[in-house]
Structure 1
Amino acid sequence: MTALEFGYKIENLTSSLKPYALKLTKDGEDANDLLQETVFKAYNNRDKFQDGTNLKAWMYTIMRNTFITNYQRMVRRNTFIDTTDNNHFLNSSSSIIENGAKGNFVMNDINAAIEGLKDMYKIPFTMYFRGFKYHEIANKLDIPIGTVKNRIHIARKELKKGLKVYAN
């Protein structure tokens, strides 16, 4: 196919490509830009087009890939990465006094709730809380791993029920 024939066929396809460009961009000006870029790329790569294949499908593919590339480029360009240190102090003063009384009350209540659990639930729960894995707890207590999981689950449920005062 000669360059003139190729150009004529592309010119006839632009009217059917325009609605697809509008669908992708949702803006008339952007659609015109996308269509122009698609036609430009098709002319530049006409040596890659094989006679006998569907030119319309080839053009749609060029348009879709161009849109995706432009979109990704726009997203990268609009991504803002803050490289500054986060040294923002709002309402800061030279001395800060913090009252730890509430934290002490909460910790006392949590410890009391844990101590209130039956040993069959408390022991696996505290081991898990200290960092033991399920299989390590099962081996240490000589019980099945499913039982360990169940007992930890029940302990959590009991603690949640006992400490519901602190739920938001």
Structure 2
Amino acid sequence: MTALEFGYRIENLTSSLKPYALKLTKDGEDANDLLQETVFKAYNNRDKFQDGTNLKAWMYTIMRNTFITNYQRMVRRNTFIDTTENNHFINSSGSVIENNAKGNFVMRDIKASIDSLKDIHKVPFTLYFRGFKYHEIAEKLNIPIGTVKNRIHIARKELKKGLKVYAN
């Protein structure tokens, strides 16, 4: 097969390779780059292609391997080697240590905000928060279901106001 014939056959396959590139990269620009790199590698290695075999499968394999190689290169770029005596490998993006201090502060503020509600709003809200249905709360407190919904709504508004600092 001549280089011109090989190039023509590759050109005809690019439309079927594009969806696979999009599936791998999840980005249009990256997919175009991957497709271009795949076509380039296939054309440069056309002497390794054996006539009578499946060109489309060969191209898919080149694309998959190119994607994997690029991904591994990107991961290595985000990893650096500590040159101290112990030579530890450290992944720079995953070295965040978190204690639960922020969560403890937030829970304390939420509890304080709930405790500051009036009892007529706090009781239905607390029951609802614990998993009771509106009709169960209405029966338990012996009030109409509309009143239960209204009191829970008011409690939510008050809590939202009291916890405004955590809005974002």
Larger radius of gyration: 1
TM-score scaled by structure 2?
Answer: 0.48
TM-score scaled by structure 1?
Answer: 0.48
